[in-house]
Each structure stands twice: as C-alpha cells, then as structure tokens.
Structure 1
C-alpha cells in the first residue's frame, strides 16, 4: 500500500472510531491524513469505498494467507492450527479496523456488502471443507458438524476486536494456541 493510502486509511479508522462514519466527512479524513483531495480520490472513489477498504484489505490478506496454508497440504489438524493462528494474528493486528468495520458495516451499499459477504463465504467454506475432509478421513471426530465447528471458530475470532488489547495479558500467538488446542481437543477427541 502506498504511504498516502495508508495515511488516509489510518485517519479514517481513527475518525470513524471516535465519531462514527456518518459524522465523519471526507474533508475531515483528508485533513487528518494530511493529503490532497486528489490524493484521496486517486485511491478511493467515495467514503463508502474507504469504509469497505477498512476491512477489505484485511480479508484480502487473510484469503491470501489461507491459500498459502492450504497449498502446503499439511494434515487437517496442522492446517487448522495454522489457519487459526493466522486469523487470530491478523485480526489482532487490525483489531481497531475490524471493530470500526463491524460497527459501520450497515453503512455499505448492497454491492459492497455482497462483495464482503462473498469474501467471508470463501473463507468459511474453505474451513468448513477442511473440517469435513478431516472427519471423512477419520482424523477428526464428528463431535459436531463442520458448520458448527466453523461458526465456533469464527465466532470467537470475530469477537476478538471487542476485547483484545495489545498490552493485555496474552499475546495473539498465545490466544491462537489456546483456541486451536480447544477446537482440536474436541475434534480429535
């Protein structure tokens, strides 16, 4: 990402977090970022496009990491552990952005909302298939359906921006290990 794009995103996240999407103008974002109007519009066609990018960048990075993890063709348990580790780490690193996005998601128009849902669905489907494959080979028990296990994993991770603090007692790697251990203890039961 370019320096201008980073500054605009950082300014927008800060303003959206403090005063909300509706109360934040493009002019305020431009002023906070210290960029020109042309610099803003070079990267973002609208305030809605900017809001989408607040989280769109994270989900794009997470999908790329998922593809790389899956390409390693590890055992299902090792793959799931790596996926959880990446999700927890990347979500914790972008916790404020994720929190702003979740709070303001309803401000996106239909097209952007569908784009977001398609990206999340791709990720959920891949994890669900990983669990189903592990159950089919007998590496995982059928203690719960692949759907419920997937919802559980994402439920915990999606809530992380609400309670995670970088200066808290546990770092992302520790949280990822505990979540992976919990899920795998149930699946490998």
Structure 2
C-alpha cells in the first residue's frame, strides 16, 4: 500500500501517528481504541494494520520517532569539528529542546511504557541506552583530556542530566515564563558547571 499523501501533504502513517499521539496523550493508551484512532486519522483499520500492525506498534513508534531524531542530532553534534565543551553543551541543550518540542511523546511513554510487550520494551530500552552511551562518550572524552572534572563518574553525570530531562513533563508549561531554548540553556549550563575542573 503506497504512503499516499493527503491534501495537506501528510501521509497515512503520519496521520495515524498524529491521531494516536493526540488520543494517547489526552485519554491514555489503554483507554484509546483502534477504532477511535482510525476515525481521527480518517483512514481504515486495514491501513493501520498495514503500516503498524497493532496499536502497540503505534505506541512504540510514538516514542521511537523522537529518540531517532535525538540520536541523529546527537550524532551530528558529537561528530562536529568543535571543542568537546561546545559539543557536550549543544547535545545537553538539544535533548531538552527536542523533548519539550515533542512533550506529548514523552508523556505518553512515561505513562504507558509498562504496556509494551517485553520484546518491544527491550528494543526501546536498547535504543535509549545507545543514546545515553553516545552522550556519555562526550563526557568521558572531556574527562580523559582534562577538560572536565573526573570527581563524578560519567555514568552519574548522564543520570543527573537525563533525570532532569525525564522530569520535564511534570512541570513544563508552554505558557510559562521560559521558552524551551531558555530552559535548555539553563539545564545545559548546570551540567557544564558541574563538570568544571
């Protein structure tokens, strides 16, 4: 089945994901039916099962698409020809911005991660672990070269920063006093100060 585009240029999978994201965020994964998703997307059940296979596959993709974006951006930042301090600051800020720009995805995942099958949960955790390992490699690079303090193990530094990132859905409001970029700069600044020799 081709990924036909609608009048607004969106494909069937994009419409399904957008509808599922809205419904999962508003009502919860377990209280959203496949019928409600396909009606909101304006497609048939056959289209959903063709592209995603199941409602659970949609849930997994809601989380994985943001993580893929973050991984692509981290890879670009990590591979840039810049000092490790700049690369880590940029990576630390980017994960905050991309989380806030996809806040529904983060909320859905936190609420519904336990509803993934063990196999899908292992896959998602492996993707997230890979991201954290790439982020940790930047910290270790700076620690090895003497640019960052070695007083705190790199693993704990990663947990410190991502603890803040995972807590964002609990308090962030789009109409609050700080923009996503300002919050990202503050949190990245805290991380960089914590690593100062």
Same fold (TM over 0.5): yes
Q: Larger deviation: 8-17 or 171-180?
A: 8-17
The match for 1:39 is: 47
Q: Larger deviation: 100-109 or 30-39?
A: 30-39
Structure 1: gaps of 5 or more residues = none
The match for 1:176 is: 184
Q: 1:73 and 1:163 mapped to 2: Cα distance?
A: 35
The answer to whether the 8 A contact 1:143-1:186 is kept is no
Q: Give how far 1:147 is off.
A: 0.8
Match of 1:35, SS state, is: coil
Q: 1:58 and 1:140 mapped to 2: Cα distance?
A: 29
Q: Runs of 4 or more off by more than 6 Å in structure 1?
A: none
The answer to whether the 8 A contact 1:127-1:150 is kept is yes
Counterparts of 1:93-104 in structure 2, within 5 Å, are 93-104=101-112
The match for 2:63 is: 55
The match for 1:108 is: 116
Counterparts of 1:77-96 in structure 2, within 5 Å, are 77-96=85-104
Q: Give how far 1:109 is off.
A: 0.6
Structure 2: gaps of 5 or more residues = 4-9
Q: Give how far 1:117 is off.
A: 0.8
Say if 2:132 is the partner of 1:128.
no
The answer to whether the 8 A contact 2:74-2:135 is kept is no
Of 16, 33, 54, the residue aligned with 1:8 is 16
Q: CA RMSD in A?
A: 1.5
The match for 2:27 is: 19
Q: 1:28 and 1:170 mapped to 2: Cα distance?
A: 35
Q: Give how far 1:40 is off.
A: 1.7
Aligned length, in residue pairs: 189
Q: 1:50 and 1:166 mapped to 2: Cα distance?
A: 25
Q: Give how far 1:6 is off.
A: 2.1
Question: TM-score with structure 2 length normalisation?
Answer: 0.90
Can you list the C-alpha shifts for 1:51-103, whole angstroms capped at 9, x where unaligned? 00111100011111111111114222111111012101110010011101110
Of 136, 143, 148, the residue aligned with 1:140 is 148
